[in-house]
């Protein structure tokens, strides 16, 4: 009896560990708008039993991944500078605690996205969400959910704290660090390439990588005038539909100063940069897909109530 009980406990623990890993993959991809393998679609966190979260309860189609991001929530750096002079404007930094402690806007409060709907005092405020500049699809979706729940005025600082600093605005920081363009990892690039509101551009040196990315377009170089021209062309094609960011897939070793000039040229649209070799992208994506396949074959979620 004891042996059977021990084996049963081990099975439950194994299921929980696998479920927790799978849930983390689901959450990461949902935050960044990435596609999941079919076997992982709809997987719930361990022990969740489909309970509604504060951000989604009461919203039609309340599954977080199903909420359409609201690009009308975009707010430029110059607009935020003016808005902060108005009474009733609250800047909410939704980055991690570590990122917030390293640097943040003077006067910005810190709170994770999942807690915002529980902070009733913000309902009557003009709330501006500030992220890192990456994975902003999540913030635009959160903006839509919060407005649907009765929060009167919610906006998202386009490009986050990175864009705020790039346009010369001050921050409170532990130590002064040189400004750099916002660099993406392989997983972050994949996620950003799945967001239709991003303009993904690849230089000639990254032609092979461009073929691996949905909606990526070729660009002759990373000069400011070239990127400005591509932005204008895209706006014309989309009849001035809002753009979230320009994602530049550039050759390794691209000059940082050139990127800074390009970032200033296309403002207020933020610039995200990926500058790793095709071989590294392929290797890391293969590893990620192998992990997805491995965990998709395993147990997804133990029975509710355990």
Q: State pLDDT tens for residues 109-153.
A: 999 999 999 999 999 899 999 999 999 999 999 999 999 999 989
Structure tokens at 118: 């529980």
What totals of helices (H) and strands (E) does the chain contain, helices first? 10, 12
Predicted local confidence at residue 16, as pLDDT: 42
Please enumerate in sequence order all residues whose Cβ is within 8 A of that of 276, keeping only pairs 6 or more positions apart, or say none.
186, 252
Is 221 part of any domain?
yes
- Same domain membership, residue 161 and residue 100: yes
- Reference 151, options 178, 127, 172, 132; nearest CA is 127
* pTM for this prediction: 0.76
Of the two residues 34 and 295, the one the predictor is more confident about is 295
pLDDT in tens, 180-219: 889 999 999 999 999 999 999 999 999 999 999 988 999 9
Is 93 part of any domain?
yes
Measured in degrees and rounded to the nearest 5, phi and psi for residue 174 equal -65, -45
- Same domain membership, residue 168 and residue 154: yes
Which of 173, 194, 209 delimits the end of a domain?
Answer: 173
Please enumerate in sequence order all residues whose Cβ is within 8 A of that of 177, keeping only pairs 6 or more positions apart, or say none.
none
Mean pLDDT on 234-238: 90
Predicted local confidence at residue 201, as pLDDT: 97
- Same domain membership, residue 194 and residue 97: no
What is the band of 288 on the pLDDT scale with cuts at 50, 70, 90? Answer: confident
Is 262 part of any domain?
yes
- Same domain membership, residue 143 and residue 81: yes
Is 303 part of any domain?
no
Is 302 part of any domain?
no
Is 305 part of any domain?
no
Residue 42 pLDDT greater than 70, yes or no: no
- Same domain membership, residue 207 and residue 195: yes
Average pLDDT, the chain: 81
CATH number for the domain spanning 95: value is 3.40.250.10
Q: CB atoms < 10 A from the CB of 65, how many?
A: 15
Is 306 part of any domain?
no
Please enumerate in sequence order all residues whose Cβ is within 8 A of that of 212, keeping only pairs 6 or more positions apart, or say none.
281, 282, 285
- Same domain membership, residue 78 and residue 53: no
CA–CA gap between residue 140 and residue 155 (Å, rounded)? 8
Predicted local confidence at residue 247, as pLDDT: 97
Write the CA distances from 72 to 67, 68, 143, 144, integer angstroms.
14, 12, 9, 9
- Same domain membership, residue 153 and residue 83: yes
- Reference 221, options 247, 250, 193; nearest CA is 250
- Reference 90, options 61, 76, 110, 69; nearest CA is 110
Residue 299 pLDDT greater than 70, yes or no: no
Domain range for residue 139? 67-173
Which of 113, 143, 173 delimits the end of a domain?
Answer: 173
- Same domain membership, residue 211 and residue 236: yes
What torsion do the CA atoms of 251, 252, 258, 264 make, to the nearest 10 degrees? 80
Name the 3-class secondary structure at 301. Answer: coil
Least confident of 7-21, 120-134, 225-239, 247-261: 7-21
Structure tokens at 48: 């969740």
What is the band of 241 on the pLDDT scale with cuts at 50, 70, 90? Answer: confident
- Same domain membership, residue 238 and residue 141: no
- Same domain membership, residue 109 and residue 54: no
CATH number for the domain spanning 269: value is 3.40.250
pLDDT > 70 in the chain, percent: 76
Predicted local confidence at residue 291, as pLDDT: 85
pLDDT in tens, 3-36: 444 444 444 444 444 444 444 444 444 443 344 4
Peptide bond into 268 cis (omega under 30): yes
- Same domain membership, residue 157 and residue 71: yes
- Same domain membership, residue 203 and residue 118: no
Residue 251 pLDDT greater than 50, yes or no: yes
What is the torsional sign of CA 228, 200, 279, 281? positive
Name the 3-class secondary structure at 219. Answer: coil
What is the torsional sign of CA 134, 135, 141, 142? negative
Predicted local confidence at residue 175, as pLDDT: 85
Residue that the structure tokens 């970032």 belong to:
263
Is 304 part of any domain?
no
CA–CA gap between residue 21 and residue 10 (Å, rounded)? 17
Predicted local confidence at residue 56, as pLDDT: 37
Of the two residues 92 and 305, the one the predictor is more confident about is 92
Which of 173, 207, 222 delimits the end of a domain?
Answer: 173
Looking at the 3D structure of the chain, how many domains does it have? 3
């Amino acid at each position: 009896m004891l042996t059977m009980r021990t084996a049963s406990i081990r099975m439950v623990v194994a299921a929980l560990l696998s479920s927790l890993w799978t849930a983390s993959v689901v959450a990461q991809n949902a935050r960044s708008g990435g596609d999941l393998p079919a076997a992982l679609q709809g997987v719930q966190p361990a022990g969740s039993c489909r309970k509604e979260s504060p951000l989604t309860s009461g919203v039609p189609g309340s599954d977080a991944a199903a909420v359409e991001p609201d690009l009308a929530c975009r707010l430029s750096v110059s607009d935020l500078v003016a808005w902060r002079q108005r009474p009733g404007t609250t800047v909410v930094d939704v980055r991690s605690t570590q990122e917030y402690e390293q640097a943040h806007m003077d006067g910005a409060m810190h709170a994770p996205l999942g807690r915002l709907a529980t902070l009733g005092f913000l309902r009557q405020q003009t709330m501006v969400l500030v992220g890192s500049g990456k994975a902003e699809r999540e913030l635009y979706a959160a903006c839509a959910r919060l407005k649907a729940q009765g929060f009167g005025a919610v906006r998202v600082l386009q490009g986050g704290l990175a864009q705020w600093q790039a346009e010369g605005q001050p921050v409170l920081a532990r130590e002064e660090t040189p400004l750099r363009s916002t660099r993406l990892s392989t997983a972050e690039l994949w996620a950003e390439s799945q967001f239709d509101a991003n303009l993904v551009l690849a230089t000639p040196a990254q032609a092979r990588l461009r073929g691996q990315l949905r909606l990526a377009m070729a660009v002759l170089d990373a000069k400011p005038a070239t990127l400005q021209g591509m932005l204008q062309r895209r706006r014309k094609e989309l009849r001035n539909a809002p753009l979230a960011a320009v994602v530049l897939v550039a050759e390794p070793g691209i000059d940082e100063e050139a990127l800074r000039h390009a970032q200033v040229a296309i403002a207020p649209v933020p610039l995200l940069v990926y500058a790793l070799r095709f071989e590294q992208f392929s290797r890391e994506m293969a590893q990620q897909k192998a992990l997805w396949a491995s965990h998709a074959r395993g147990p997804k979620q133990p029975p509710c109530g355990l």
